[in-house]
Amino acid sequence: MGPGIWKVQMWLEKMFAGDDVPEFELNASNITLLYNLMKCNEQADKDTQVLVEDYQLKAEEYNIEARRCEGVLKKMNLSIASLSQAGVISLRVIANLALILQVRDTTDTSFLLAMRHLEDEIYKVEEARIKEERNLQTLIDKIKVAMVKQSHLKKAMEVLEQKAACQQPETEKRTKDIHFIRSKAKEYKDKIKQMQTTLHTLKVDPSIYHHSLVKSSKELEKLQEELSPLQVKLQTYSSLPPKSVQPERLDRKATDLNFLNRYTCIYPSSSRGAIESNMATKCFYEFMSALSWF
């Protein structure tokens, strides 16, 4: 704890002025706290002593000025008792004014300087008041705008609440529909995964999948479009006497073409599959080969 404990002990004895110092626990924390308190108290005592000395100096100056004024009055054969009541009141007013303006003496210069300082303070206060009034007016305008917006928002809220009350049954229905659709979507996803697993397990030929059948159907439609002008051409050639070279082959290819047309009419386009497409392609090219004999 060091020598600080002796300083604290002396300070406590000085503060209690001969009375018994209350007991306290001697530890580093308490000693540090009391030491800091002692330092603050000593600094406050020094500041107070400076103020006391300043007041004593001013009192001495006032006494000197009073004696000087008293000497001047004596030389002029004037005294406070010889002054009229109005004169006494005027002196008191001057003294009170000097105290209010906090001047050192009652000379004209001191009063003028004090009045000038007071006018500056009044001007600053007036500027601050004008600034505060402007700020207040700005705040009032903002409050008015905010109140108008609040009124509009309140009306809009009432309208929305009415609409919400009217649309609540429909909203509840849509919510139920959404839950139902989500559950069905999850169910369908599970079924798709299950079916995909089954197809993978059975090692199904990808050519019978839907997208493959659709692709084959489009190819078949394209071939049928190409066969249409050839059928017209065939009918034209059918009216002519055929060559003696392979007439049976031409008849057989015409029979295959008729079979292809009947097969196309019997089965729907989405289920004919890759076999039909290959057959149509084969028949088409063989038919073109047969026509080359003419």
* Selection from 256, 285, 272 nearest residue 221 by Cα: 272
pLDDT less than 50: residues of the chain: 244-246, 263, 265-277, 280, 284, 287, 290-294
Give the C-alpha separation, 145 to 139, whole Å: 10
Q: What is the pLDDT of residue 1?
A: 52
Q: What is the pLDDT of residue 252?
A: 60
Q: What is the pLDDT of residue 294?
A: 45
The 10s digit of each residue's pLDDT in 104-114 is 777 788 888 88
**Angle subtended by helix axes 273-291 and 210-238, to nearest 10:** 20
Q: What is the pLDDT of residue 270?
A: 41
Residue where the block lists tokens 């004008």: 130
**Rounded to the nearest 5 degrees, what angle is found at the Cα of 280, between the Cα atoms of 275 and 285?**
130
Q: What is the pLDDT of residue 137?
A: 95
Buried b (16+ CB within 10 A) or exposed e, 54-69: eeeeeeeeeeeeeeee
- 105 three-class SS: coil
Q: What is the pLDDT of residue 67?
A: 81
DSSP string computed for 200-230: HHHT--GGGSHHHHHHHHHHHHHHHHHHHHH
Give the C-alpha separation, 281 to 275, whole Å: 10
- Is the CB of residue 272 less than 8 Å from the CB of residue 213? yes
Q: What is the pLDDT of residue 262?
A: 54
Give the C-alpha separation, 79 to 86, whole Å: 14
Q: What is the pLDDT of residue 134?
A: 94
Tokens standing for residue 128: 């601050």
Q: What is the dihedral of CA 71, 72, 76, 81, to 10 degrees?
A: -60
Q: What is the pLDDT of residue 255?
A: 64
Query: C-alpha 181: how far from its chain's center?
Result: 35
Q: What is the pLDDT of residue 142?
A: 95
Mean pLDDT, the chain, whole residue set: 78
Q: Name the phi and psi angles at 252, rounded to 5.
A: -65, -40
DSSP 241: P
